[in-house]
Amino acid sequence: MAHDLIAEDHVRVRGFATIAALHSVGGKGDPVRTVDQPKGGDNPVSLRSDSLLGLQLDYTLTDDVNATVQGLSRYHGSGDFSPEVMLAFLKYTPRHDLDIRLGRIGWDAYAFSETRFVGYSYPWIRPPVEVFGLLQLPFIEGADVTYRHPVGRGVLSATAFAGRGGSEKLYFTDDTSARIERGRAGGGHLDYRTQDWFMRLGYTRLHMDPDYHYSNPNKFSLQELRTLLQQGVDFSDLYGISDIEFVSLALDWTPARWQINAMVNRTSLAGKGGHIDSGLVSAGYRIERFMPYVVVSYTDANPEQDLSGNNFWQRTIGVGTRFDVATNAALKLQVDHVTVDGAAPFWRGRGDDYSRQERVMLGLGLDIVF
């Protein structure tokens, strides 16, 4: 009798959606949100890079087993909005402090990364591309285990995960891309959360066997071509994405009306890839239905061998506001000033021009959950 009173519906269907328009001024090339997008948001106004629709079905099988399936339609590596299954897992909770998930789960490399497509869940119009745009896998097929324990005034949780990615195509420049099949990911993170603070230290190791595609050998200078030839044009060594290590430190401070997020990451690449540093600092302040915010994000590639396509630096300073038009809908307006130097993989249509340039991007979007 008592149990019946608290039983939830066994089946729940939920969803999230973003419709967002992007306009950019100055510079050359069209911005993308993630490195798997083959085309950028072109002018005058593009809905391509940020608009998406997700549907999720949650099914309670028993008191300690749940199933979740989530489909997402967004512009991705196949060059269209074809839907993709992002989550499909069983969650087993043998004890109240332990969760085990088995199946297709989110790749939780960074804080926010599991829900980087759920616009309603964060203040910005999109998660900073300098940090989240570089993530190679939308999901992994494997398992994760999370253990939680109260410590002090908060809760400490430890998560370990392992699995394989799907088939992805990543674009480094207009001419260079790589197809990766079933990359192997493993890692974990320690989280500590109180009412006002959240801290995460994460580590992930990713192994892939990328199949490089290069469409314009004329782009390289003679010197670069000579060097490449001497190396046997070993793109794997040049870009170094066959073995990647991610170390991430995130800190959120959310006292009352403030929402302050900070994150620093180091991505270490194999071969001559060197390492890529990235990070963000964001500050928002809630004024009833408005949350104005400022966000600064950067990425800085430090290859051991400087060749076209693997050396870049980019910084975005964004100012915007979130306006909660309803308890499940947020309208967002964001203006970004982007400075890019080198072959940052967040642009399409730049051709061979990897010189430093500045760009202003205007984004207007509506995020809903239902």
Partner 1 sequence: MRWLRTLLMALLLTLTPAIASANLVVVVSNDSQVQSLTYDDVVNIFMGRLSTLPGGEPVVPVDYMPLRASFYKALVNRELADINAWWARLVFSGRGSPPRKSDGFDETIELISHNPGVLGYLDKSRVDPRVRVVYEFGGRS
338 within 8 A of 28, measured Cβ to Cβ: no
User: Looking at beta carbons only, is 212 or 323 nearer to partner 1?
Assistant: 323
333 within 8 A of 363, measured Cβ to Cβ: yes
Site for partner 1, residues 209 to 248, rule: CB under 8 A = none
**DSSP 8-state symbol, 287:** B
User: Looking at beta carbons only, is 77 or 284 nearer to partner 1?
Assistant: 284
Among the residue ranges 1-9, 33-41, 217-225, 226-234, the one whose residues contact partner 1 (CB under 8 A) = 1-9
Size of the site for partner 1 (CB under 8 A): 50
Q: Residue from 18, 24, 46, 68 that binds partner 1 (CB under 8 A)?
A: 68
86 within 8 A of 107, measured Cβ to Cβ: no
**What is the spatial distance between Cα 89 and Cα 61, in angstroms, rounded to a whole number?**
12
User: Looking at beta carbons only, is 39 or 286 nearer to partner 1?
Assistant: 286
**What is the spatial distance between Cα 347 and Cα 339, in angstroms, rounded to a whole number?**
12
Q: Residue from 97, 234, 353, 358 that binds partner 1 (CB under 8 A)?
A: 97
Strand partners, 92: 65, 100
Tokens of 84: 């993709």
Q: Residue from 37, 70, 204, 311 that binds partner 1 (CB under 8 A)?
A: 70
Q: Residue from 17, 21, 109, 118 that binds partner 1 (CB under 8 A)?
A: 118
Q: Residue from 30, 36, 50, 58 that binds partner 1 (CB under 8 A)?
A: 58
Q: Residue from 205, 275, 286, 337 that binds partner 1 (CB under 8 A)?
A: 286
Least separation in angstroms between residue 247's CB and partner 1 is 21
Least separation in angstroms between residue 54's CB and partner 1 is 7
Least separation in angstroms between residue 140's CB and partner 1 is 13
User: Looking at beta carbons only, is 34 or 146 nearer to partner 1?
Assistant: 146
Listing DSSP states for 304-343 in one string gives SS--TTS-EEEEEEEEEEEEEEETTEEEEEEEEEEEEEE-
**What is the spatial distance between Cα 29 and Cα 169, in angstroms, rounded to a whole number?**
20
User: Looking at beta carbons only, is 55 or 270 nearer to partner 1?
Assistant: 55
Question: With binding defined as CB under 8 A, does residue 316 bind partner 1?
Answer: no
| Residue reference for tokens 């790589």 | 178
Is omega for the bond preceding 44 within 30 degrees of 0, making it cis?
A: yes
Question: With binding defined as CB under 8 A, does residue 131 bind partner 1?
Answer: no
Site for partner 1, residues 152 to 211, rule: CB under 8 A = 153-155, 193-195
**What is the spatial distance between Cα 45 and Cα 48, in angstroms, rounded to a whole number?**
9
Among the residue ranges 42-50, 222-230, 254-262, 292-300, the one whose residues contact partner 1 (CB under 8 A) = 254-262
Q: Residue from 82, 215, 221, 328 that binds partner 1 (CB under 8 A)?
A: 328
281 within 8 A of 249, measured Cβ to Cβ: no
- Cα angle: 291, vertex 292, 293; to 5 degrees: 115
Q: Residue from 41, 54, 187, 303 that binds partner 1 (CB under 8 A)?
A: 54
